[in-house]
Structure 1
């Protein structure tokens, strides 16, 4: 009898311990909070911030024990620090201009190669091409997984004169978003001053910059219309397109359980679909905002685009093909997309 009682008590204790462990495990799962960083303004309508906020809301709504805390406006990491933090597992997610990591992964420069994209429809086709498959494989090899594609068109703005063909940039101190554009602009006679988009406003305000190129969204969210005299909008001949995907640390992703991974991937896919439609509205918002602010707005002609492309082929394309491992093949894969 006594032995039976001890057995029952032992079973009860074991069961209670198992339940406690199970409950603790659930509590721990529900306490998982990932940190997402990006450099763009929060709460001001920037679609990149909204894209990340959407992912955070949808992941939490999936009820799989996962939350995402979003840190906008470079409040957690400076723009160029994010890639290193992400690949080391110190940062979990980021909406990140992939070209910003080209100093560590030179192949990423192709994601901001002048004239390679030209319009949103072609950007969509690039997303499902062998070109993008290779870019994502390279990213994963270095510790980051793309969960949402995002391409942004871009523009030029100047405090001095309108930027049309290559001759118009001569003598202007210009900010370009990455090495490929810097090489092209320098070839055309510009002086280059490198900085992230979040610093362009102060650069133009203090006279460090005469001109800049960046995404349409950044031109609006950073209020660069307060400093610009003339804007060259993307129009039908967008020389500037930049890949700014949402990426998750591979170390972080591998620590999640299958349900959490599934929720994160599904949230990324949904946000990508929203972004691909929303970002197309950005070019018109850009034009309307700058005209309202009294800034002259023009568009690059097809002949201007072709002249720039010649300069790019002689500078950034040539340099990338000759000096980056697999560079020539990557450009050919991109150009093969109709």
Structure 2
């Protein structure tokens, strides 16, 4: 910027109405929505903590130009409404399971495809692999940008008996968590019930659910140990890995300066290590939680994992790949990451 241009700009600001100067100086406030219990930076569900750590980190690095309001426990909008709202620019940010938008955007269901991701190493490798780049491009086309890649392993809370092998689900009312999980469970003989994770506890209390598959962190935060007796953990491996990222609306992102965009992306990437460590900690903590309440804990092994993966390949993977050209491409790229 030339000296003359700079003087002209500063002069215009100095002589502009006070309301215009105030508007120019106002920090940008972004709203972050999620469905999990609220806490603090130091305590509580790690997904809420991550949102608060992100907000604090960005506000500090932007010198207060970017601020955030955090809305836990679906207090701003319903769980299923968050991704469509982010996509349309009606919500700034959300930390939410991508599969909640599976009916409207079938491509996102690859983020909870049974048996496709079986370890944190494999899941986090997606970000820089072909699958991650193509998935990010596809989401950007839908108006969504990933700031933090967050993978979580999950288990099964059940009331009457542990669910270890596919045949254990036969005849039970089970919550799977995605269209693809539901297809696999139906093939195993289960009666599938669909709902967001924050509604599981009430459904189990009322007898509307016999078992529920969800992340280890949700098993803990929603106190499912109080309404179920058994838990199948992810400690010995899991066929249930969910991509639950921190998202920002492309519309909100594009309104920021390049410097501010860089700050958001940097802070988001740095928090991925915290997310991974926290999720793995919860995989172990959920076992201790159930045992402490007199419940029983079981784990999977290589043989049981193969059974679930074979069932998933014949049902969920096949269905997903046939949905559209994007799904087929994403599935093929994801399969390249299989060990």
TM over 0.5: yes
Contact 1:148/1:271 (<8 A) preserved: yes
Rounded Cα–Cα distance in structure 1 between residues aligned with 2:258 and 2:25 = 12
1:251 is aligned to 2:251: yes
SS of the residue 2:29 aligns to? strand
Residue matched to 2:50: 51
1:281 is aligned to 2:281: yes
Per-residue deviation at 1:237?
A: 2.2
Check 1:191–1:259 CA distance in 2 against 1; reply closer, same or farther (3 A cut): same
Q: Which shifted more, 166-175 or 19-28?
A: 19-28
Residue matched to 2:121: 121
TM-score by length of 2: 0.91
Q: Structure 1 runs of 4+ off > 6 angstroms?
A: none
SS of the residue 2:14 aligns to? helix
Residue matched to 1:3: none
Deviation string for 1:247-288 (max 9, x for gaps)? 100000111122322222222122223212222211111111
Check 1:236–1:25 CA distance in 2 against 1; reply closer, same or farther (3 A cut): farther
Residue matched to 1:223: 223
Q: Which shifted more, 284-293 or 218-227?
A: 284-293
Residue pairs, 1:232-311, within 5 angstroms: 232-311=232-311
Residue matched to 1:19: 14
Pick the aligned partner of 2:33 from 28, 37, 41. 37
Structure 2: stretches of 5+ with no match in the other structure:
1-8
Per-residue deviation at 1:318?
A: 1.0
Deviation string for 1:112-153 (max 9, x for gaps)? 011111111111212221111111111110001111100000
> In the comparison of the two structures, how many residue pairs are matched?
327
Residue matched to 1:9: none
Residue pairs, 1:1-338, within 5 angstroms: 17-19=12-14, 21=16, 25=21, 28-43=24-39, 45-62=44-61, 63-337=63-337, 338=339
Q: Which shifted more, 97-106 or 22-31?
A: 22-31
Residue matched to 2:6: none
Rounded Cα–Cα distance in structure 1 between residues aligned with 2:12 and 2:126 = 54
Larger Rg: 1
Deviation string for 1:147-205 (max 9, x for gaps)? 11000000011101110111100010001110010000001000011000000000000
Contact 1:38/1:95 (<8 A) preserved: yes
Deviation string for 1:15-41 (max 9, x for gaps)? 765325498557644432111101111
Check 1:22–1:239 CA distance in 2 against 1; reply closer, same or farther (3 A cut): farther
Rounded Cα–Cα distance in structure 2 between residues aligned with 1:136 and 1:236 = 30
TM-score by length of 1: 0.92
Per-residue deviation at 1:104?
A: 1.2
Structure 1: stretches of 5+ with no match in the other structure:
1-13
Check 1:30–1:258 CA distance in 2 against 1; reply closer, same or farther (3 A cut): farther
Rounded Cα–Cα distance in structure 2 between residues aligned with 1:311 and 1:334 = 17
Deviation string for 1:208-249 (max 9, x for gaps)? 000000000000000000011110001232010000011100
Check 1:304–1:32 CA distance in 2 against 1; reply closer, same or farther (3 A cut): same
Rounded Cα–Cα distance in structure 2 between residues aligned with 1:193 and 1:94 = 25
What's the C-alpha RMSD, in Å, of the aligned pairs?
2.0
Deviation string for 1:78-114 (max 9, x for gaps)? 1100012111211101101111111111111111011
Contact 1:30/1:64 (<8 A) preserved: no
Rounded Cα–Cα distance in structure 2 between residues aligned with 1:227 and 1:324 = 39
Contact 2:136/2:146 (<8 A) preserved: yes
Check 1:161–1:89 CA distance in 2 against 1; reply closer, same or farther (3 A cut): same
Rounded Cα–Cα distance in structure 2 between residues aligned with 1:111 and 1:191 = 23
Contact 1:64/1:260 (<8 A) preserved: no
